[in-house]
Structure 1
Amino acid sequence: MSDRLSSLQRAVLLVLLAEARELTNAELKEVAGLSLTGKPRVQLNELGLVESTTPWRNILVHELTELGAQWCTEELSRPAPARAGSFGGALYSVLGGLHRYLDGSGQLLTDIFQPDVAGQIVRAYAAITDGKPEQVRLADVRTRLPHLSPDEFTRAIVALADREGVHVRAEADRKTLTEDDRAVAVSLGGTARHLLTIEVLK
């Protein structure tokens, strides 16, 4: 099956594996500079390697299937495809090293790659503020990340709050709080926090 796939399709599969989450084409573009559309998308869907859905109007969301994860595992031990170039050759050298590590440790490939929830929050914040260090409501950030569970979101905000230049504050005027604000509030030091500011985006 591997020799039937283009470099783009291989790249999409590996990015979906590494990100460990659903990705829209816009997110694929942001993360790796590529997108999955047309015949390449249809082929991956038909092969059962990627599931593509449209939960929002005209927005495709791609997710690696179990068969896709199996393909990625098998790809670790394969040589670089023809005309992979220097970067492709380097990538497959890294994949080969990862294969040796997994063989020796008994771990699964999916044990290593976990979603970067904090990174997703930072990107959502940047999209809201256009990259500026402005104060935004956690509820607004949360709205952009519907795939995250409440616990995932809370844990990531708590972790971000420990970073230099990240401020998670309480809303002083409680009368302005909405039900959404209260629902996504994160408790820090025994105080419910509703606002997020990130001074330096990384």
Structure 2
Amino acid sequence: MPDTSLSQRETAILLLLMAEAREFTNPELKEQFGVEIGKKEREHLQRLKLIEVGKKGQAFTYALSDDGWARAAAMFRDGIPRSSRLAARALEAVVRAMVSGLQRHLERSSAPLAEIFGREEDLGPGISEEPLAEPPVARAAAEVAHPPVARVPVSEDIETSIRKAYAQLADKANAWVSLTRLRPLLGDVPRDEVDATLRQMIRRPDVRLVPWENQKTLTQADRDAAIVIGDQPKHRIWIGA
């Protein structure tokens, strides 16, 4: 049976690649974080299928695989083993990368820090933490499970129509609803008017628009339905009670 345990450096590498969520070369890792992936670590992480290795010129490239994302998530859920206590230098690199990743998430989602770091019971009545993106098959099954809904009458103002459409689609209080499903309920309201209204609505404390965390699960319909705010496509809406 292959050895699935990770060394201190391998644990740091996995967490660092997770926090940055992109492809790296060794020179980039060395320059930004003072950490390099050696041959021994590369081969071990490849055998465990935790990283994807490519080539850019003469340099290897490294990115987390799906199994690598799952392993990193398990570390956060279960806690980093005491036997894998990170070396100070590697830990400093991981912390810097995680702070950078947190800043990107805040820019994308406009989530307040109190919501991210607060306990669930402190987030306010009925407000739950943002769910992870579902895999394509699970999303497709969920869409099929929803019963048909009628278009919202266009006699009222657009914000009211959006709120009524959201209420029809939300399967529970404070649920996240995809714009892919919401837009068709607005009938013939011009796209630019709907988008202008959504941009106004996110200034209200009870409305948020966020992107899908895992962009690989997006369909073309999801991309077409997105609204771009601050150079970031947003795919889901949340409206508080």
Confirm or deny a common fold (TM above 0.5).
no
* TM-score normalised per structure 1: 0.43
User: Which protein is bigger by CA-based radius of gyration?
Assistant: 2
* TM-score normalised per structure 2: 0.36
